[in-house]
Structure 1
Amino acid sequence: MTFEALKPQVSDILNNNAIEADERLQKVCDLLKENIAHYNWVGFYFRNGDKPELLLRKFAGKQTDHTVIPFGRGICGQVALSNQNFVVPDVAAQDNYIACSIDVKSEIVVPLFVNGENIGQIDIDSNTPDPFTKEDERFLEWVNKEVALILE
């Protein structure tokens, strides 16, 4: 399914005020994992209060031991500090990569901002080498802007 075709579905989920924000986040994770072939794991990490760490809030895919990630550690931890998208075409080539599964070949992490502050991120793992394009980045930036609206 194309990113453009998914946008109305993401919006419908996020605008459904009849369900809690966490359930909406879970439904977005499920939707993306089920409809984008190279998205094998989709998750939202959020800053843990005032602590310099991220907590996994909702995800779709295999269970992970990495539910808490210190700032600076791994790709997610680096994005928490840099406030920049991070696309990893080959996780084996990254010194600071935290392995979640031997099947993961690549990763993309896009920060999530509310009122200009980096409060979390969307993290996508792929079992395909180098599948992420600028279109993935733009789409995930759009998803995060929509998510930010329900978190403000």
Structure 2
Amino acid sequence: MTFEDLKPKVTYIISNSVLSRDEKLLKICELLNNSIEYYNWVGFYFANLETKTLHLGPYVGAETDHKIIPYGKGICGQVAVSNENFVVPDVAAQDNYIACSFTVKSEIVVPLFVNGENIGQIDIDSHVINPFTTADERFLEFVNQEIAKLY
């Protein structure tokens, strides 16, 4: 399924008035995980602006011990500070990478902005080296723009 095919499905999930916000986020995780072959872990982290930490939200994939991540630590923590997308073609080449599983080969993290403030991010791990393209970035930015409507 192409990113263009997925966009209306994401919009439909966001507009579902029966589901809670966390249920919608989980459905989006499931949709992306099931629709894009190289998306092997899909989840959200949300910022606690006072403590400068990220807290794990809904996700699909292997269990993770990384439920709270300090700003600046790992890929997610760096995105919390930089406010910019971070594509890691090969996690083994990253100095500030928090290993979740030996099966993870690459990662993409895209910040989630609400009213210009970075409140969290979508985080995707892949078991493939270097699968993420600019098209993934633009699609995940779209996903986060839709999710921002929930806040």
- Please give the range of the TM-score, normalised by the shorter of the 2 chains: over 0.9
Match of 2:15 in 1: 15
- Partner residue of 1:43? 43
Q: Which residue of 2 aligns with 1:31?
A: 31
Instruction: Quote the sequence identity (%).
Output: 65
Partner in structure 2 of residue 146 of structure 1:
146
Report the more deviating stretch, 106-115 or 11-20: 11-20
Aligned residues: 151
SS of residue matched to 1:58: strand
Q: What TM-score comes out, normalization by structure 1 length?
A: 0.98
Structure 1: runs of 5 or more not aligned: none
Q: CA deviation at 1:48?
A: 2.1
| Residues 1:118 and 2:137 aligned together | no
How far does residue 46 in structure 1 lie from its aligned partner after superposition? 0.3
1:85-122 Cα shifts (integer Å, max 9, x gaps): 00000000000000000000000000000000000000
Instruction: State the superposition RMSD in angstroms.
Output: 0.6
Q: Secondary structure at the match of 2:149?
A: helix
Structure 1 ranges of 4+ moved more than 4 A: none
Q: Please give the per-residue CA displacement for 1:57-84, whole angstroms capped at 9, x wherever unaligned.
A: 1100001000100000000000000000
Corresponding residue SS for 2:113: strand
Q: Distance in 2 between matches of 1:97 and 1:40?
A: 17
Gaps of 5+ in 2: none
| Residue identity opposite 1:148 in structure 2 | A
Q: SS state of the match for residue 150, structure 1?
A: coil
Q: Which amino acid aligns with 1:104?
A: V
Letter in 2 for 1:66: H
